[in-house]
Amino acid sequence: MAESIEVVATGRRKEARARVRIKPGTGKVVVNGRPMDEYLAREVLVMMANQPFEATGNVGKYDVRASCDGGGVAGQAGALRLGIARALLKIDESYRAPLRHAGLLTRDAREVERKKYGRPGARKRFQFSKR
């Protein structure tokens, strides 16, 4: 693939979606028009979103522009991580092994369980009274 072309990929986690555009650059990551560390706020989430770069040894080599919507901040960070991993894979297929080994190409399929009728939540029950 040509180096100057921008690669687009999508990541999803819970109810969150991230559309990720990646191109060679200086390592600047912008999410919804704001720097990633400002947007994600928590250091753990920033580290999580940077995992694909660390796994492939590409820290500071690519610029990322991402558009996230839906869910919460943690879900968006997970979606961003998957989107970046998929974009890196499009750039170079040899990244598949390290990304797969780190578990970054698997979509986390866990979703919130629906609330059931006659109960206060999905599984919680009202207090039982014998008399």
Beta strands 62-69 and 16-24 are antiparallel
Query: Is 110 a member of any domain?
Result: no
Q: Which two tokens stand for residue 95?
A: 């990244």
pLDDT value at residue 3: 53
Q: What is the mean pLDDT of the chain?
A: 93
Q: What is the DSSP letter of 113?
A: P
Query: Is 96 a member of any domain?
Result: yes
DSSP symbols for 24-88: ESS--EEETTEEHHHHH-SHHHHHHHHHHHHHHT-TTTEEEEEEEESS-HHHHHHHHHHHHHHHH
Structure confidence by residue, pLDDT tens digits, 18-55:
999 999 999 999 999 999 999 998 999 999 999 999 99
| Boundaries of domain holding 87 | 7-101
CATH number at residue 97: 3.30.230.10
On whether the CB atoms of residues 32 and 68 are closer than 8 A, the answer is yes
Give how many domains the chain has, as a whole number.
1
